[in-house]
């Protein structure tokens, strides 16, 4: 689906757009007339909307998370853009729009990432670990794993986010393995691939990003442990100690009990995985916040709960050359 | 095996005894002669020992956790009993002694406990849950589950300890279910039975009570989750939500992330299981400490790390009758 | 007082009702006219209200927490019920309505609970402890103790709540005493009865549930200790150690310093009381939240601050019978 | 009792001394002979001792914390002084020695401190508070209050220590009252006097400094609250709010729940009392450690658990005059 | 600048006033007309305002934190005062109004405080420390130091606040030095003067009180350390140990790592400075909150985040004389 | 200096060796004879020693941390090697031995590391930052920086350890910069170089590794900030914001206030530096512990305080080839 982004329209323009309906409520105005208050999104942003008339046939079947087609005019309310909707209907199959048209996705090239991931699996030398990965990643599982975001909101929270995040951790782990050759590289890389595998079951990402009941009751960490356990059971003679260590790395990858890891890192590989995960996650998250809030002006973002601070947005026009003549 | 307890011998007595060898080291005296420094235990207590001569053939094959037969004399060193060993040899099969002769065991009747446990399983009405328990507890598993202690040292740390502990939790949960009929009793009782199931793999208890490598790397909580996952996979149409909830109760039964539960209780049944576990564990542990230290005299036990305090030992001879004549 | 519950009226119905006025403010509409914005409650729920005219004589003497009689019409505003009030006046003595008509109360039978409580006191064998309870609970004190809620909002937060809560703890303690006969049952049950005694002074519950100044400055835990101290002073030869232990159990019943207990449990009975209290409180609180939010739909309640999570509302229509034929 | 201090004797000197016996055990030497291993103290320090012969009649009745008279010789063992005892017997009444001869005491003049304390009480203008103090401090209570140390080991841990500590807090509070005239000075000073009153029951100090059972079970904070409660009950019309506030200040004076205060400071006077207490306690404690360890050499004391660090001992010979000529 | 305070005007009065513009936004009314929504302050309080017409020439250049002259009428909206503005313009130099006319300031006499501060510096006997202070406080620095508030909102958050706060700490430290003569008084007083020196760079206070970028990135504690380091570098032979100790006192004055001190107090002087700072800060802060909220009625302030509680406002009319006749 | 390592000698061999004397005490044997108890080290390990005769002229001038030359025989005591010393004297200048002969050092090639470091500095494009580094690292400073260990005991605790550690962080940061091109690479790399710069003043490493007084009073974090501040002052027009950010990265590199960082990371570069530091430090520390304890046998190291656990030592002989024929 190709259409101009919401952000690119100006006040007063008319448009016909496919949008994702994320909120809808009927309200009564002071004059007693009913109207609709809506929230809609395209892939880039979210916008409020009002519909004053003609929603009688649409409203009864309207649901959050449905895709709609609207005739509308761009307006402004107290300095914020809003839409005035003239006509609205649910999208049809023939419209050929899908939820993916409305969900943010990784900015890295998807094919390139898949290829990088396949090469990583290929590079595992330990036959048991490589076999385990091959068994775990059947086509259906790969499909989910390659598409799911790494989280709902904090870091890599977009389609293919888990894939992008995993590849970053792999790169950092490879760097550390070069520095410390004593590390069991195959074990570490396999654990890096598997560490957030449980997110394929912990998160819904088809129409919106949200936690599943299973995700809230069990959590992605134990889900991954159960899947590794199931598959190693199918591999004859899979070494018990190797299995325990791999599960240990997955279980301990959040580093501390209070971060919901049921065991803390008890191996060098485990502590490496923990901090490599932090590096990938936090650098992504912090930069995302700054990118999003940069245009608001000001030197500081709003308070970021998971960083426990607001973040500094440095001035851009910094002179780079000292005045003194030391270099002459 | 029947023999007088170590505690019942007096200074100066001679004896022939089977004992468990828990420590052994060869030392050199000031005069240059070598001697053995040993630690031995029977079912009731531990004692130090010295052997001055005649250990040349025994020593090279001696290992910790082996059962030995000794000829010895009860002696004292600085007010503490010790043994002087004249002869020592490893126990033979013909001696018909086993490790269980040297390990403490629950004071409750074992048969009675097993029967109580079977009745509890029988009482589960939900067919899926009952079936799950029946599949999980094959004869081999039951054997382990019925014998393993509930821990290495803190509470119910004796043979059949897990069984005793589980039955206490079941009783407390039944009481709470009577108070709050909205609770899902079948789910709660099944989770009570399963909550420490992982200890069958987390602990060694054959020759001594100690953690296994798997226990330290994965922990009994996740082990239990993996076993429930495996077995429910074998039951057609086991309801996904029921499975998730059962695993949730097991995972959250230590109540807090910092106590190594990867999720906190998110259901009334989960919070009941947590505190019923605490009640059984702590009342057992606190009373054990007092029983053990009572004979030392004094009103306070030594500092108990897990209670974060020493415990008060109340005076026994308390008058019970007020002097005033209110009752006349 | 008998009247139809607020929840049972429909949009458009007229009614004359006694209600508790919990908030009142005069506002000015855009057109310059003044109107009243009110909040009212009956025993089951709270409702917003507007009064457009005729409040001149009522308003100057109106106070929060007064009982009023209203003529009104049931209306709706943005999907939420509200009242339009035509006439309002303060309730008079002749109306024979009291605050208790508007405050929630325990669903257990009050007489039954009182009897159960009396039997519990009667069952104490230690004469000193029994005498202490008899002295503490004169008629006036009993009146308060039997009526006060166990808290403002969290658990058993309704009339007779403390009584209901106390009886639950007693039951759980009795179960544990059966499991561990070494426990001092009389001491434990007396402490269970007294543990929240201070709430009779910590809470106002006549017109609304709220903390008193004394409650905030001293807290129910120390209040109870002071009352026990006063009364034991009146009993000749009350054993000093018994008194100290009873006060210890009361002081330590919140289990941890950071939960406002000035000492942590240093006796087995103290740790049992702590967890029995938790069992009663949390099972009540968690189930209350679920009951209240169940009708909203969805599988999860809103975030519950004291549980540090939202709670899972399981599906009701769970199939109970496995398909396989294991039982044949 | 007057006698030369242990620290003033030299290796090889003979002496006859009264000492406090703090530890005693009979041991067996390698040669099979029994001997006594003892620890003794005078008011300034503690010393080890050995007795090789002639203790047969003494040993059976010897107890820790008894005062003894010894004939001995000063010796050294691995560079540390020790006594070789030739004769020993329990002190008799006729010897006119008391435990106070062996316990450390405040370096401030006792009479001066008592006078200062009486003047402080006299200076209270609020008649209720002054009357309360007069009733609380009968002669017997004063005797205890004036003698008890403020603690077992940390700060002001010597006879009259509570008195000295209290007077320091009073001084600091007076300074703050001058800075902030809005503070209720009478309430604050009364609370300062009462804040550690419970230590008269929490601590034994007659033969050694140690906690009582009541002290461990209830704690000095609640003991003080109970005593204030008892006495205000005896004063007609003692204002309820004044009583609650006074008890609040005492209960909250340790500042945080985790420091065993059951309520945190909710009044300006309460927060002032908390920090004035800290100032007096910590400045005393830190300086004591430095004084004690200064002579060991080195710039740092050993690790001080309650300060969570070792303390710096600054160099003494610091030059005070800058070289530059700014002042000319 | 002299003008009647905002609080002294009544509903309906007209006035011409200089005010500080703290917020401004243009809004659109339901009828489509634009109007201004403003927030303005004088030295005593803040008020909302509306301007319906005639702001076309003013609005484009209006900025937050500019001083304006307004013609206005006092009005009320829902019981809260507001201004209706008829004319507005930016203040001119000729108006001779400055930001200081709109910022709160210490209630103590400024000249007196400066004199007290100079005497304190003069009283330092250690020549190095006195010289350091003289070098640090050139005229420009003194100007800032004497004017800056001690914080944005919590304590002494008004002009000259740092000066007032510092003098209070000095007084408390002098009291403690009298109690404990072993303390290094010169070092302690110098550190007291320097402890919050960094606030001169951490805070903006010219037009409003707010943190600078440097303040957020580095913090006043390390800023002060860097300034002391710079200036001691300029003093020949400044003793290294003295410098390290002075910096240590400044770095550790917040007492705990989690309060952003990079080292904890490791000297008696450091722990005294920490608690003296707390005493001055908290007594000021708590009393400020009570003063501000007293007029709202009620016995409790709203929740005070930094005190972790709401504060008690005691009744004023307390009887002071007991009824009993003890004094006769 | 070249000599055979202590570890390479066998029981009974004679040797003449230079060793570092790390402990010395004179003791008295049971027979009344005095002897010396010593601890000595070469570069690889530490050994106990006894000297029975002939130490009269040596002992009075002996000091810990002096280098000695010994004539000795290798012996064993209870299975542990010890030396019996026949002759001993202090090393002389002519012996040409230095402390570095006895201190552990990095296993990486020193020249290679220096070159790598120089290239890193060279690679900084921002002229201000490069100039700053050039000014900071004069020859004397470089000498220290290149030699100092990164810590006393935990990680990289050997000569050149800071250099090795810094280069690892640089490598990890470069990897992350490749992943996230928005990062300010020059700032991050400069901060990586400077982050532990303060250790050059915090640690003594000439004769042993230990903290200086300055190190304990101020800490390496603030020391580095002061040095950066001094040097940027010397560079005309060094951008204030750049300086603040660089200091911010250094101050926040321990990530949390409770880890002694006075500010937490408020920039993406700061959070990257924190975790890169953790990765280098922990992987080094964990692997060191395992390497050291591997030879003791057993699957677990002893408890590692900073890791809050003991570490798993995996079995070495792991089979790598699955039996099944999936790959055919």
Residue B226: closest CA among A262, D264, F271, A212: A262
Phi then psi dihedrals of residue E242, to 5 deg = -65, -45
Closest CB to B27 among F30, F78, F300: F78
Closest CA to C282 of B267, D44, E167, D105: B267
pLDDT digits (tens, 9 = 90+) for D4-54: 988 788 888 999 999 999 888 887 665 667 889 999 988 877 899 999 999
Cα–Cα distance, C322 to B236 (Å, whole number): 7
**Which pTM was predicted?**
0.90
Q: Can you say how many angstroms the Cα of residue C324 is from the centroid of all Cα atoms in its chain?
A: 48
- Within an 8 Å CB–CB cutoff, is residue B284 touching chain C? yes
Token pair in block for residue C246? 């009873």
Question: Which residue in chain E is spatially nearest to A77 when comparing CA positions?
Answer: E28
CB contact under 8 A, B226 and A229: yes
C-chain residues near B319 (CB < 8 A): 237, 239
**Of C217, C247, C263, which is closest to D263 when you measure between CB atoms?**
C217
Q: Which of E272, E308, E322 sits opposite D235 (nearest CB)?
A: E322
Instruction: Give the residue among B229, B199, B202 at the shortest CA–CA distance from B135.
Output: B229
Q: Evaluate whether chains F and A are touching (3 or more beta carbon pairs less than 8 Å apart).
A: yes
CB contact burial D30-48 (16+ within 10 A = b; e otherwise):
eeeeeebebbbbbbeeebe
**Which of D78, D309, D310, D318 has the highest number of chain F CBs within 10 A, making it the mutation to test binding with F?**
D78
| pLDDT score for D118 | 98
pLDDT of residue C189: 98
Q: Which residues contact C240 (CB under 8 A, 6 or more apart)?
A: D214
Question: How far, in Å, CA of F259 to CA of E261, rounded?
Answer: 10
- Which contiguous run of DSSP H or E holds residue D203? strand D203-204
Whether residue A271 lies within 8 A of chain F, CB to CB, comes out as yes
DSSP state of E302: P
Q: What is the DSSP string of F141-182?
A: HHHHHHHS-S-SSSSS-SBTHHHHHHHHHHHHHHHHHHH-TT
Among chain F residues, CA nearest to E217: F248
Chain C environment of B318 (Cβ under 8 Å): 239, 241-242
Closest residue by Cα to residue A193 from A126, A282, A105:
A126
Cβ atoms of D82 and D48 within 8 Å: the answer is yes
Task: Say if E27 is an interface residue toward chain A (CB within 8 Å).
Answer: yes
State whether A213 and C77 contact (CB < 8 Å). no
The DSSP 8-state label assigned to residue E257 in this structure reads: G
- Confidence check: pLDDT of D327 > 80: no
Interface residue C45 vs chain A (CB under 8 A): no
> Residue B111, SS3?
helix
Residue E242: closest CA among chain D residues belongs to which residue?
D318
Chain F environment of D30 (Cβ under 8 Å): 30
- B78: which chain D residues are within 8 Å (Cβ-Cβ)? 25, 27-28
Q: Does pLDDT of D293 surpass 70?
A: yes
Compute the nearest-CA separation of D27 from chain B (Å). Answer: 5
Put simply, whether C216 touches E (Cβ < 8 Å) is yes
With an 8 Å Cβ cutoff, is E108 touching chain D?
Answer: no
Q: What residues in F contact D312, CB-CB < 8 Å? A: 213, 216-217
Prediction ipTM score: 0.86
- Identify whether the C-beta of residue A196 lies closer than 8 Å to the C-beta of residue A220: yes
Please tell me whether residue B233 adopts helix, strand or coil conformation: helix
Q: Angle, nearest 10°, between helix axes E220-233 and E240-251?
A: 170
**Neighboring chain D residues of C266 at a CB cutoff of 8 Å:** 216-217
Q: Is E303 on the interface with C (CB under 8 A)?
A: no
Specify the DSSP class assigned to residue A302: P
3-class SS of residue B265? coil
Judging contacts by C-beta atoms under 8 Å, the chain E residues touching residue C216 are 300, 312
Give me the average pLDDT of each 10-residue run along chain E (328 residues).
Answer: 85 91 79 82 86 90 90 82 92 90 91 98 97 96 96 90 98 98 97 97 88 96 98 95 97 97 97 98 95 82 92 77 52
Confidence of residue C321 (pLDDT cuts 50, 70, 90): low
Contact status of F299 with chain B (Cβ, < 8 Å): yes
What average pLDDT score do residues A243-260 get? 97
**Does A298 have pLDDT greater than 50?**
yes
Query: Looking at the complex, does the CB of residue E310 fall below 8 Å from at least one CB of chain D?
Result: yes
* Residue B52 touches chain D, beta carbons under 8 Å: no
Q: What are the angstrom distances between the C-alpha of C286 and each of B177, C290, C305? A: 14, 6, 11
Residue D155 DSSP symbol: S
Beta strands at A80-90 and A66-77: parallel, antiparallel or unpaired: antiparallel
Phi then psi for residue B113, to 5 deg, are -65, -45
- Whether residue D52 lies within 8 A of chain F, CB to CB, comes out as no
Q: Does F31 touch chain B (CB under 8 A)?
A: no
Q: What is the pLDDT of residues F112-147, one digit of tens each?
A: 999 999 999 999 999 999 999 999 999 999 999 999
Q: Tell me whether F3 touches chain A (CB under 8 Å).
A: no
Q: How many Å apart are CA D274 and CA E297, to the nearest integer?
A: 27
Average pLDDT of D122-148?
96
Q: Distances from the Cα of C26 to the Cαs of C57, E297, F91, in angstroms? A: 13, 19, 95
Is the Cβ pair F283, A128 closer than 8 Å? Answer: no
> Across the interface, do F261 and E266 touch by the CB < 8 Å criterion?
no
B261 touches chain A (CB under 8 A): yes
pLDDT digits (tens, 9 = 90+) for F75-84: 877 667 899 9
F52 touches chain B (CB under 8 A): no
CA F168 to chain centre: 14
CB-nearest to D217 from B78, B79, B312 is B312
* pLDDT for residue B1: 75
Alpha carbons D77 and C213: distance in angstroms, whole number: 64
- List chain D residues with CB under 8 Å of F26: 79
Is D27's CB within 8 Å of B299's CB?
no
Cβ–Cβ contact A299 with E under 8 A: yes
Closest chain C CA to residue E310:
C216
- Does the beta carbon of B28 lie under 8 angstroms from any beta carbon of chain F? yes
Whether residue A27 and residue C78 make contact (CB cut-off 8 A), yes or no, is yes
Q: How many Å lie between the alpha carbon of C317 and the closest alpha carbon of chain B?
A: 11
Give whole-number Cα distances, F189 to D42, F122, F133, F142, in Å: 63, 11, 11, 17
Q: Rounded CA gap, D193 and D204, in Å?
A: 20
Residue range A56-114, pLDDT digits in tens: 899 988 988 899 999 999 987 766 788 999 999 999 999 999 888 888 889 999 999 99
Look at residue C328 in the predicted model and tell me its pLDDT.
40
- A8 to A4, B99, C56: CA distances (angstroms): 7, 79, 55
Nearest to D324 among E236, E248, E278 (CB): E236
Q: Do C287 and B171 touch (CB under 8 A)?
A: no
Q: Above 90 in pLDDT, residue D63?
A: no
Selected residue with higher pLDDT from A42 and D111: D111
pLDDT at residue number D320: 67
- Nearest beta carbon to residue F27 from set D78, D299, D300: D78
C-beta separation of B89 from B55 below 8 A: no
CA angle F227–F228–F232, rounded 5-degree value: 120
Residues 6+ apart with CB under 8 A from E181: none
Mean pLDDT taken over chain A: 91
Q: What is the pLDDT of residue D29?
A: 64
Residue C327: its pLDDT value, please?
Answer: 43
User: D80 at the B interface (CB within 8 A)?
Assistant: no
Segments of chain B scoring below 70 in pLDDT: 28-32, 78-79, 317-320, 323-328
pLDDT higher than 90, residue C231 = yes
């Amino acid at each position: 689906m190709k259409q101009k982004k919401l952000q690119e329209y100006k006040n007063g323009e008319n448009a016909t757009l496919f949008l994702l309906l994320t909120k809808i409520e009927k309200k009564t105005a002071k004059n007693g007339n009913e109207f609709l208050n809506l929230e809609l999104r395209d892939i880039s942003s979210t916008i409020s909307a009002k519909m004053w008339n003609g929603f009688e046939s649409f409203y009864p079947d309207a649901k959050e998370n449905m895709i709609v087609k609207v005739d509308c005019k761009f307006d402004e309310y107290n300095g914020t853009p809003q839409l005035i909707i003239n006509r609205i209907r649910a999208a049809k199959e023939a419209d050929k729009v899908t939820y993916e048209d409305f969900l943010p996705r990784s900015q890295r090239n998807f094919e390139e990432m898949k290829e990088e991931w396949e090469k990583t699996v290929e590079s595992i030398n330990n036959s048991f670990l490589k076999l385990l990965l091959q068994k775990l990643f059947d086509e259906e599982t790969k499909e989910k794993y390659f598409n799911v975001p790494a989280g709902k909101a904090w870091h890599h929270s977009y389609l293919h986010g888990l894939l992008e995040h995993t590849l970053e951790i792999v790169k950092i782990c490879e760097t550390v393995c070069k520095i410390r050759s004593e590390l069991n590289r195959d074990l570490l890389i396999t654990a890096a691939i598997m560490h957030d595998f449980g997110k394929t079951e912990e998160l819904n990402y088809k129409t919106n990003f949200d936690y599943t009941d299973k995700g809230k009751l069990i959590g992605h960490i134990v889900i991954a442990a159960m899947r590794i356990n199931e598959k190693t059971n199918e591999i004859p003679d899979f070494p018990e100690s190797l299995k325990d260590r791999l599960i240990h790395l997955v279980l301990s990858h959040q580093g501390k009990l209070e971060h919901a890891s049921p065991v803390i890192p008890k191996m060098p590989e485990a502590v490496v995985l923990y901090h490599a995960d932090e590096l990938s996650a936090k650098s992504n998250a912090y930069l995302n916040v700054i990118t999003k809030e940069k245009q608001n002006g000001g030197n500081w973002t709003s308070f970021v709960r998971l960083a426990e601070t607001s973040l500094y947005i440095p001035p851009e026009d910094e002179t780079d050359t000292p005045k003194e003549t030391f270099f002459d």
